[in-house]
């Protein structure tokens, strides 16, 4: 990554020294290490802190140094080493609670999610007001699930771009996406100094071009943009005529000061880069520019006062492309957290992408997609694996109108960033279904099957000898599959491809009920000796409403049955009232009364055991009639009650199929 300055720490050792009773000689022993750390020279600070650790005797100073060494390794992206030194600091009872947050974060990067969750829990207990504790716990749970269910993106190492050093933050330079700028610390970089934060060269902007055969050229420096300082994170306007990038210079106190620079295209070169805007002078970091397609909004990263965390994403706007930028505006808590939000990018369609280390994710920096709702609020989506990994993932760039591009990741470890390509292959959706008899489960040949999509397209086919049918489906579409055949009620099933990011073949079975047979209405319940419908009956009856609406030429008889207990007369009366309660419900849902008849059969038609009943009650035999005498012979009141329950049922049968609706 481009090191834009030291993140704000919750605990600074230098402040602790003001309150600890240590002498001046001890202060001097780690002063150089502290100065290097404060200047962001983490690579140099590690050796200085290790040397200071061996020279100080105070226990608090020693544990503070252990923590600072862990911080250096974490910021440099070396999570394995950071975990080791944080563990040492915890072992020696480092007092600031932030140690548990940092330790948990490195455990996540190292994919030890169970241990990380425990450390986030400890931090949450000690600092309940910091949302990063709860977010970390949720992240550990989500990461495991996401890794097991990756999205459909294909990610590959861009070996043409990558070197042994850091390579990151790609940007397309032309309309055809055949020229790419990116940031690198490789040996060809112009700067002759070693970056104190990384131990590598100062970064420069490099370019690679793809030829007609699809092969990328050897990257070379973009000399008109590079300097002896740190240069990188390029962003271009939609017409590729202006480039913005970050340049970090060393100030008088040797700290790197980062600002956003601008250059315009001049033939095959760029004009001399100039500072685009300066919010608050050299003491404030402004970096990682991202320009909107219309050129009127620039997003960038800054640690200026008024933010929500260590580094926030801000924006400036202007009235026209030649006009001045307005005052910086923080994107707010919808985007920013107490941690780091960095590397914004604006897709050609206007969607904002960025990376964060303090939202629900897999560890380190994760890439997020941000869109706005009708009220202007932000809706965030983690890009998930394989786009994101437990390590740092950032600096994404898309080809125009393509779900394809490049991004940066440290997933191979060693603290090095590399560039990866990504592509989401075209999604292929289909449904393979069968039409079957609801009672016998036999396949129905020659049934008409219609596919009705929410896009307004209807396709029709006929089931084959096996009752099978097949349709190709479109992404982001709701579907209803409707089957019909003479002698059967029409049936349907629903599927949807909305929200799916992987190709899929759906399996669907449409069961049709014969108009010649009595049809069960499952789960129609009444209280004992009452005919009022219980709430749990409504689901089954609503399905019947839908069936009647799908078959508008059908009239039916609602048939209610009781068990054999009670007098025959009472049972007839009770069952009639129960059947009528069903009819009344259907009428209340808009079904015409002249399509419905209610009839109570009392105990006169005991149920005959079919395959479904036998499957549910293995003590009953296929074809057995559940008469009162048979039930009384069953062993024990429990089995007898189950048999009585089977007899207490509501059914319907088709009376006619030529009803003509009055409307």
For 519-656, CATH gives: 3.30.1330.60
Tens digit of pLDDT for each residue in 519-575?
Answer: 888 878 676 677 888 787 888 899 899 999 999 999 999 999 999 988 999 999 999
CA pair distance 108, 361, nearest whole angstrom: 9
Is it the case that residue 26 has pLDDT exceeding 50? Answer: no
Distances (CA, A) of 23 to 20, 32, 57, 58, 95: 9, 16, 11, 10, 21
Calpha distance 538→582 (Å, rounded): 10
Q: Give start-end residues of each CATH 2.120.10.30 domain in the chain.
A: 154-423
Q: Is the pLDDT of residue 455 over 70?
A: yes
Q: Where in the chain is the domain with CATH 3.30.1330.60?
A: 519-656
Helical ranges in 522-565 per DSSP H:
538-550
For 487, 539, 559, 649, the CA distances from 653, given in Å and listed in that order, are 13, 19, 8, 13
| pTM for the predicted model, two decimal places | 0.69
Helix (H, G, I), strand (E, B) or coil at 475: coil
Taking alpha carbons only, the member of 74, 3, 67 closest to residue 30 is: 67
Can you give the pLDDT at residue 284?
79
CA dist 85 and 603 (Å) reads: 80
Q: How far apart are CA 580 and CA 351, in angstroms?
A: 57
Residues of the chain with CATH 2.60.40.1120: 429-512
CA distance linking residue 430 with residue 475, whole number of Å: 10
Report strand pairing: 649-656 vs 519-521: antiparallel
Above pLDDT 70, what percent of the chain?
92
In whole angstroms, what is the distance from residue 605 CA to residue 607 CA?
Answer: 6
Give 261's strand partners: 245, 275
Residue 243 to residue 291: CA distance in whole angstroms: 9
- Map residue 398 onto helix, strand or coil: strand
E strands, 373-467, are 378-382, 393-398, 404-409, 418-423, 429-437, 448-453, 458-462
**Considering only 392-396, 411-415, 422-426, 507-511, which range has the smallest mean pLDDT?**
411-415
Asked if residue 343 has pLDDT above 90, the reply is yes
Residues of the chain with CATH 1.25.40.10: 13-148
pLDDT band at 24 (very low <50, low <70, confident <90, very high): very low
Neighbours of 6 (CB within 10 A): 21
- Note the Cα 624 to chain centre separation in Å: 53
pLDDT of 280 = 61
The continuous run of DSSP H or E covering 298 comes out as strand 297-302
Q: How far is CA 508 from CA 196, 436, 483, 484, 521, in A?
A: 61, 11, 12, 15, 22
pLDDT confidence tier of residue 401, bands split at 50, 70 and 90: confident
Topology (CATH level 3) of domain 13-148: 1.25.40
What is the rounded CA–CA span in Å between residue 113 and residue 137?
Answer: 9
H/E stretch holding 315 reads strand 312-317
Cα dihedral across residues 379, 385, 386, 391: positive or negative: positive
> What's the angle, vertex CA 563, arms to CA 562 and CA 565, rounded to 5?
115
> Range with the lowest mean pLDDT among 142-156, 220-234, 409-423?
409-423
What pLDDT, on the 0 to 100 scale, is given for residue 252? 62
CATH number of 154-423: 2.120.10.30
User: Which architecture, in CATH terms, is 429-512?
Assistant: Sandwich (2.60)
Q: 199-234 pLDDT, tens per residue?
A: 678 899 999 999 999 999 999 999 999 999 999 999
Partners of 298 in beta bridges: 291, 316
Q: How does the average pLDDT of the chain come out, rounded?
A: 89
CA distance 410 to 290: 22
pLDDT grade for 81, boundaries at 50, 70 and 90: very high
Peptide bond connecting 386 to the previous residue in cis, omega within 30 degrees of 0: yes
**For residue 662, what pLDDT is reported?**
78
């Amino acid at each position: 990554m481009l090191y834009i300055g030291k993140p704000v720490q919750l605990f600074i050792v230098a402040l602790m020294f003001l309150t600890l009773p240590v002498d001046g000689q001890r202060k001097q022993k780690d002063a150089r290490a502290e100065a290097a750390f404060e200047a962001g020279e983490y690579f140099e600070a590690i050796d200085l802190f290790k040397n200071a650790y061996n020279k100080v005797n105070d226990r608090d100073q020693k544990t503070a140094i252990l923590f600072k060494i862990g911080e250096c390794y974490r910021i440099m992206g070396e999570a394995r080493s950071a975990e080791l030194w944080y563990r040492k600091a915890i072992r020696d009872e480092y007092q600031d609670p932030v140690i548990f947050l940092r330790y948990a974060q490195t455990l996540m990067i190292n994919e030890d999610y169970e241990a990380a969750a425990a450390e986030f829990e400890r931090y949450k207990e000690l600092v309940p007001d910091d949302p990063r504790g709860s977010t970390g716990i949720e992240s550990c749970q989500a990461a495991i699930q996401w890794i097991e269910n990756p999205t459909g993106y294909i990610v590959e190492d861009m070996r043409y771009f990558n070197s042994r050093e850091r390579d990151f933050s790609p940007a397309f330079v032309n309309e055809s996406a055949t020229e790419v700028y990116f940031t690198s610390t490789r040996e060809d970089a112009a700067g002759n100094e070693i970056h104190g934060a990384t131990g590598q060269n100062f970064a420069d902007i490099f370019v690679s071009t793809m030829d007609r055969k699809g092969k990328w050229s050897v990257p070379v420096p973009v000399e008109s943009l590079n300097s002896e300082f740190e240069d990188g994170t390029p962003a271009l306007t939609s017409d590729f005529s202006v480039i913005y990038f970050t340049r970090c210079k060393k100030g008088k106190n040797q700290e790197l000061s980062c600002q956003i620079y601008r250059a315009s295209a001049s033939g095959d070169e760029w004009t001399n880069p100039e500072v685009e805007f300066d919010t608050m002078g050299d003491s404030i970091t402004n970096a990682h520019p991202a320009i909107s397609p219309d050129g009127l909004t620039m997003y960038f990263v800054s640690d200026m006062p008024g933010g929500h965390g260590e580094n926030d994403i801000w924006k400036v706007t202007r009235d026209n492309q030649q006009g001045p930028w307005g005052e910086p505006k923080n994107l707010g808590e919808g985007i920013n957290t107490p941690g780091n939000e960095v590397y914004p990018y604006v897709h050609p369609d206007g969607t904002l992408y960025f990376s964060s280390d303090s939202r629900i994710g897999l560890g380190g920096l994760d890439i997020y997609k941000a869109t706005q709702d009708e009220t202007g609020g932000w809706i965030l989506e983690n890009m998930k694996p394989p786009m994101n990994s437990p390590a740092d993932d950032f600096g994404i760039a898309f080809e125009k109108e393509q779900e394809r591009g490049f991004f940066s990741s440290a997933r191979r470890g060693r603290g090095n960033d590399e560039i990866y390509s990504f592509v989401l292959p075209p999604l292929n959706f289909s449904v393979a279904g069968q039409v079957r008899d609801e009672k016998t489960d036999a396949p129905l040949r020659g049934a008409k099957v219609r596919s009705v999509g929410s896009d307004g397209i209807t396709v029709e086919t006929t089931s084959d000898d096996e009752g099978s049918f097949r349709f190709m489906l479109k992404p982001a579409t709701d579907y209803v599959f409707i089957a019909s055949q003479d002698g059967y009620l029409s049936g349907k099933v629903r599927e949807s491809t909305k929200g799916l990011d992987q190709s899929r073949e759906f399996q669907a079975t449409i069961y049709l009920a014969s108009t010649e047979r009595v049809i069960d209405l499952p789960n129609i319940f009444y209280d004992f000796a009452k005919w009022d419908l219980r709430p749990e009956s409504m689901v089954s009856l609503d399905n019947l409403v839908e069936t009647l609406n799908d078959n508008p030429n059908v009239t039916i008889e609602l048939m209610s049955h009781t068990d054999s207990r009670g007098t025959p007369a009472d049972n007839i009366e009770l069952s009639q009232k129960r059947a009528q309660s069903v009819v009344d419900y259907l009428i209340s849902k808009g079904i015409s009364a002249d399509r419905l008849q209610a009839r109570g059969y009392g105990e006169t038609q005991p149920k005959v055991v079919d395959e479904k009943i036998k499957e549910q009650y293995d003590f009953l035999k296929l074809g057995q009639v559940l008469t009162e005498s048979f039930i009384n012979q069953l062993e024990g009141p429990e089995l007898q009650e189950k048999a009585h329950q089977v007899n207490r049922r509501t059914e319907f049968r088709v009376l006619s199929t030529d009803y003509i609706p009055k409307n």
